[in-house]
């Protein structure tokens, strides 16, 4: 066996190329091979949300102003977003991937990670699997749905590998190759390192990935300014990528009520909103919680405090029901401040290793994760829990989301 054959890869990360634009091209053959920009509204005053590779060739990218994009690429076609369509493609892609290899985690609406096992870890086998997977997604879902696959010792490195060749890429980085393949890259290639963190690290003379690879955990912590640096550097060195446990002890939000919201009903709507924000953060940190605490302060400075415990969850619908059960205080003066706190965390992967289609709760949690990612891409309130702010469809049967939401329940 030559050296390449001895290399082992533990993780596969599949990232769809120009996902929203590709969905549109798949759905509308007349757009294929053409520069396309997906926008929230057909108007000159907006920016591009996603560009097809044909448009990217002209320099159009996410964030380019529509007027600018038209100048850069005169023939460009603007298409309005279809969230339900993307969700539908997302679901079909997950199903296609699962026909080849189990999905370990859905990282975003167009990214998923799979753990390689047994002989799949050997480089030639891993490459063969990756090629079959890419082709299978196209065969089953549509030829426009091309993807870039990264293979690596952990999901962080696999993700960086998938970013290195677009579109339609396949890049592997084994543990032995980290410094050779990633070392020369700018630290901006590290997921989570934005312009501000880059500037911060530059002040410590950290410019390239290789500058980080040499750091001890203590140095990593001090240049980064937090424990995140230790985890990131260890992941870059090829260690298993683990989310720290004790980092975040609780996630909570509080809100002082303006006069028009100082009724029990309005205050409860605010509490639901705070809970929703907290659960988005919970899922973003890959935690599940076992405790929900509610605190209400009234205008006479008295307080109502109560908490409830349950088995670990990150399901917004379930937590909303728990919040309602806590919201039972005897008549009091008007509420003045509401706070909602989630605690008793368990890391997602440790909590329960359910396979993707196992169980109702798991499905619901995945659905919420997808909603989080779409909201991240399109702006905070693109999709939301229907009954949330008492503005839409006044609640009749209690809280929404006691099951997997149908695509129809997402706002277009």
What's the min distance (Å) between Cβ of 145 and Mg ion? 11
Instruction: Quote the tokens at residue 78.
Output: 């603007």
Beta carbon nearer to Mg ion, 91 or 179: 91
Beta carbon nearer to Mg ion, 48 or 272: 48
Name the residue with tokens 């006069």. Answer: 259
Beta carbon nearer to Mg ion, 188 or 277: 188
Q: Which of 232, 223, 261 is nearest to 390 (CA)?
A: 261
Does a cis peptide bond (omega within 30 degrees of 0) precede residue 167? yes
What's the min distance (Å) between Cβ of 158 and Mg ion? 14
Beta carbon nearer to Mg ion, 135 or 393: 135
What's the min distance (Å) between Cβ of 26 and Mg ion? 15
Round to whole Å and give the CA distance between 47 and 38. 9
Interface residue list for Mg ion (CB under 5 A): 15-16, 110
Beta carbon nearer to Mg ion, 15 or 24: 15
* Beta-carbon count within 10 A of 285 CB: 17
What's the min distance (Å) between Cβ of 146 and Mg ion? 10
Beta carbon nearer to Mg ion, 15 or 269: 15
What's the min distance (Å) between Cβ of 111 and Mg ion? 6
Beta carbon nearer to Mg ion, 20 or 287: 20
Beta carbon nearer to Mg ion, 16 or 282: 16
What's the min distance (Å) between Cβ of 162 and Mg ion? 8
What's the min distance (Å) between Cβ of 110 and Mg ion? 4
What's the min distance (Å) between Cβ of 89 and Mg ion? 12
Beta carbon nearer to Mg ion, 26 or 387: 26
What's the min distance (Å) between Cβ of 168 and Mg ion? 12
């Amino acid at each position: 066996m030559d050296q390449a054959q001895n290399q082992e890869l533990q993780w596969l990360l599949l990232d769809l190329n120009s996902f929203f634009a590709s969905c549109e091209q798949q759905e509308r053959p007349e757009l294929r091979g053409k520069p396309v920009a997906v926008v929230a509204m057909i108007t000159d005053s907006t920016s591009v949300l996603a560009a097809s590779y044909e448009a990217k060739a002209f320099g159009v990218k996410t964030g380019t102003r529509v007027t600018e994009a038209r100048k850069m690429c005169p023939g460009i076609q603007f298409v309005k977003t279809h969230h339900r369509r993307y969700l539908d493609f997302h679901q079909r892609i997950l199903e296609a991937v699962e026909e080849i290899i189990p999905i370990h985690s859905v990282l975003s609406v167009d990214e998923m990670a799979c753990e390689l096992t047994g002989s799949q870890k050997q480089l030639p086998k891993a490459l063969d699997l990756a090629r079959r997977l890419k082709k299978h997604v196209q065969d089953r879902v549509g030829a426009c749905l091309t993807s870039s696959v990264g293979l690596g010792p952990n999901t962080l490195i696999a993700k960086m590998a998938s970013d290195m060749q677009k579109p339609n890429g396949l890049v592997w980085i084994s543990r032995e190759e980290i410094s050779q393949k990633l070392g020369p890259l700018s630290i901006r290639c590290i997921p989570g390192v934005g312009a501000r963190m880059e500037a911060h690290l530059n002040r410590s003379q950290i410019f390239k990935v290789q500058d980080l690879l040499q750091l001890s955990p203590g140095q990593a912590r001090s240049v980064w300014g937090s424990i995140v640096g230790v985890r990131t550097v260890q992941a870059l060195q090829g260690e298993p990528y683990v989310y720290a446990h004790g980092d975040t002890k609780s996630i909570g939000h509080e809100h002082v009520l303006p006069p028009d919201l100082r009724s029990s009903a309005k205050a409860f709507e605010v509490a639901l909103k705070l809970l929703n924000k907290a659960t988005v953060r919970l899922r973003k940190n890959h935690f599940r919680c076992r405790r929900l605490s509610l605190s209400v302060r009234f205008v006479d400075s008295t307080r109502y405090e109560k908490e409830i415990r349950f088995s670990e969850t990150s399901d917004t619908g379930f937590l909303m029901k728990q919040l309602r059960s806590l919201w039972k205080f005897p008549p009091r003066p008007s509420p003045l401040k509401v706070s909602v706190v989630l605690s008793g965390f368990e890391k997602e992967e440790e909590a329960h290793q359910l396979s993707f289609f196992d169980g109702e709760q798991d499905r619901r949690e995945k659905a919420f994760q997808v909603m989080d990612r779409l909201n991240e891409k399109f702006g905070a309130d693109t999709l939301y829990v229907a009954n949330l702010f008492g503005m839409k469809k006044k609640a009749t049967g209690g809280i929404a989301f006691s099951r997997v939401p149908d695509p129809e329940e997402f706002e277009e």
